[in-house]
Structure 1
Amino acid sequence: MKRLIFILAMLPGAALAQGWGNVAANQEEEPFSWTAPLWPSFWMAWTPATFAFFCALFAAIALIGVLEGFRYKDGLERRGVLGLTTTLGDRLFISLLGSAYIFLAWLGFFGMPLWAPLGLAMAWLIFCFWKV
């Protein structure tokens, strides 16, 4: 009988020790957000959107560097419709600068959402690499 009383007295303590006492206190997982910080205590507010943007930017610069370093050693210069003699890196810079202006102008005139200026920026990128 003493053992039974001892076991019954220890059951709540064993359950709490295994974490069962905190089941109701657990918070639900928050859904994915493009604007929530990835690392809240980091010095820069890296969100998934900014992280994806900078990864794509560095990947484009690396791709242009590899292409100009190994495939097009002379830089693949050509004279386009703007009257400039440009290389692949110049065309990437012009397309990125133009895309920034497209997005800023869209935000200034229309606001959100940004799907339409994304299409315009992609069209500008294709135009820059095709004709400039």
Structure 2
Amino acid sequence: MLRYLPLLLLLPSPALAQAAAGWGNVGQQDSAGFSWTDPLWPDFWMAWTPATLAVFVGIFSAILVIGLLEVFWLRDGLERKGVLGLTTTLGDRLFITLLGSAYIFLAWLGFVGQPIWTPLFIAIGWGIFVFWKV
């Protein structure tokens, strides 16, 4: 019987851990103000958060800027042959940048996880490399 005495000391620990961690507050909403992950329109079919909206606005803005550059300023499309041996225009380089950035973020999330600040800087470096050398 005495050998079970240490086990009795462990019995109240789950209840104390729940009280200390605040398990009673798990289901309650925390209204702390702005959040990058809260949906903009809760009843909409797609979960548009400020982060997803910023990504899509950035992509479409880049496409618009590249399109305007090719229409009004660089009529030949600024074709060149880079280190990959491809003849690319500004639109091609933008596509390669976006595709490579998506792979960088997916690989980072698959192998490392969050936070994703480091792959952001790697993707910016990738974009600079692509527009400079490809």
TM-score (norm 2): 0.76
Structure 1, gaps ≥5 residues long? 1-27
1:77 corresponds in structure 2 to 79
Deviation beyond 2 Å, 4+ runs, structure 1: none
**Partners of 2:67 and 2:60 in 1: CA distance:** 10
The correspondence for 1:125, drawn from 103, 124, 127, is 127
**Could you report, residue by residue, the CA deviation over 1:33-83 in whole angstroms, capped at 9, with x for unpaired residues?**
100000111121100000000000000000000000011101100000000
Q: How many residues align?
A: 105
Structure 2, gaps ≥5 residues long? 1-29
The correspondence for 1:33, drawn from 35, 51, 58, is 35
**Partners of 2:125 and 2:31 in 1: CA distance:** 39
For residue 54 of structure 1, what is the amino acid of its counterpart? F
Q: The residue matched to 2:121 in structure 1 has which SS?
A: helix
**Partners of 1:101 and 1:54 in 2: CA distance:** 17
**Partners of 1:29 and 1:117 in 2: CA distance:** 30
For residue 95 of structure 1, what is the amino acid of its counterpart? T
Larger-Rg structure:
1
What is the Cα-based RMSD across aligned positions, in Å? 1.2
Is structure 2 residue 112 aligned with structure 1 residue 115?
no
1:30 positional shift:
3.9
TM-score (norm 1): 0.77
